[in-house]
Amino acid sequence: MKRIVQFVVLGTVLGVILSALFIAVPWFPTEGSQQSKNNYPLFIAITYVSFVIFAVVIVAMGYSLWKFRQRGPSDLRDGSPTHGNTLLEIVWTSIPVVIVVFFGVWAAKVLDDNEAHASNGRVVTVIGYSFGFSYRYNTDGGFTRNDGLYLPVGESVTLHMITPLFTPGTKNLEVIHGFWVPEWGVKQDATPGVIGKTVGTTYVKPTRVGTYQVQCTELCGSGHGQMFFKNIHVMTPSAFESWLTKAKAEAAKEAEASKANPGLAVFNDSGCGGCHTLAAAKATGKTGPPLDDVSADFARAKAQGKTSATDLAGFYKESIADPNKYIAKGYAPGVMPNGFADNLSPKQFDALIAFLTKGAKG
């Protein structure tokens, strides 16, 4: 009994030292939300308990290895057989029960706090697609931004995760993506078929102004490795208000422009801007080649005999209808999905080509 007390005391001391050393390493990202503020103490408490249990076991095991070692080749003694020890069994069952219940209750409280939000608060739908995120400001008029998520500091926001049914502009069924901002301490999957009202929902109350990175956490295809964007902007309330006013005005202007410019509408509706940069569409995607000037690629494709197009319009047509015929310099094959052209009516396709050709400086 005295020995067991010694193991526990020594193990606890060692466990606390190991935990303190472990926690001294800055594993965690900067605390950027009420959610991560709720999570971190729980993580740290679990670390302490785990290291103490680990150290008690290691101390007892180390002592036994040393104490009951074989003393020379002729030492063939065996320990005396033991039978059950009721007290010991009660103790080693009740300690884990207490630990599990304690952390279970604490974790449930953290989860509950993390989901605390005003039911009439701001709601944003996060659209995860191959390979990007768009943000629809449901409670601010329903406009959609492809250039990142903008939020005011100190205000709880509801984030619904969805995927489009198909990868924008293709006949390919969309796949799962994960929305994760490490500083916020929350992660939520956007799952095809899940509308996002209950299961696909997460909440965040940003507490620190700054620009953060969102990262996709589900292996979603060839573009997964590029599916991270440093475009999560947490702003002061006044900066956010002026951004919102500007964003609403831009959205209204864009809606007008789409009416007047059907090619731009097709470009936006097909999600081209998620992967491509094009000034004429205010698109800033980085997964695929920029579309402002494709004349160098057109020349290269001609030199390599990989295009039969005679002009830029033809080159655009071919690149959309058969994206793997010529791969732009510096990009991987198979990233641009097949089937964009099949998914558009001939009229839409022509409007898109006209728009791209006009937008290009080539």
d(CA 143, CA 73): 81
Min CB(231)–ligand CUA separation in Å: 15
Name which of 132 and 206 has its Cβ closer to ligand CUA.
132
Between 122 and 177, CB nearer to ligand CUA: 177
Q: Which parts of 138-227 are beta strand (E)?
A: 144-145, 149-152, 157-162, 177-181, 186-190, 201-204, 210-215
CB atoms near residue 8 (< 10 Å): 15
Q: Which is nearer to ligand CUA, 266 or 335 (CB)?
A: 335
Q: Residue 234's beta-bridge partner residues?
A: 151, 210
Nearer to ligand CUA, 159 or 216 (CB): 216
Q: Provide the 10 A C-beta neighbour count for residue 41.
A: 11
Q: Half-sphere exposure of residue 247, counting CA atoms within 13 Å on the CB side? A: 21
Tokens of residue 150, six digits: 């903008």
Instruction: Give the Cα separation of 144 and 135 in Å (integer).
Output: 5
* Residue numbers at the binding site for ligand CUA (CB under 6 A): 131, 177, 216, 218, 220, 224, 227
Between 113 and 218, name the residue whose CB sits nearer to ligand CUA.
218
Query: Nearer to ligand CUA by C-beta: 216 or 283?
Result: 216
Does residue 150 contact residue 243 with C-beta atoms inside 8 Å?
yes
- Shortest Å distance, C-beta 76 to ligand CUA: 59
Residue type, 72: G
Min dist CB 292 to ligand CUA, Å, is 26
We find the least distance from the C-beta atom of residue 130 to ligand CUA, in angstroms, to be 7
Least separation in angstroms between residue 226's CB and ligand CUA is: 9
Q: Please give the DSSP secondary-structure letter assigned to residue 151.
A: E
Residue type, 289: P
Rounded to a whole number of angstroms, the minimum distance from the CB of residue 349 to ligand CUA is: 27
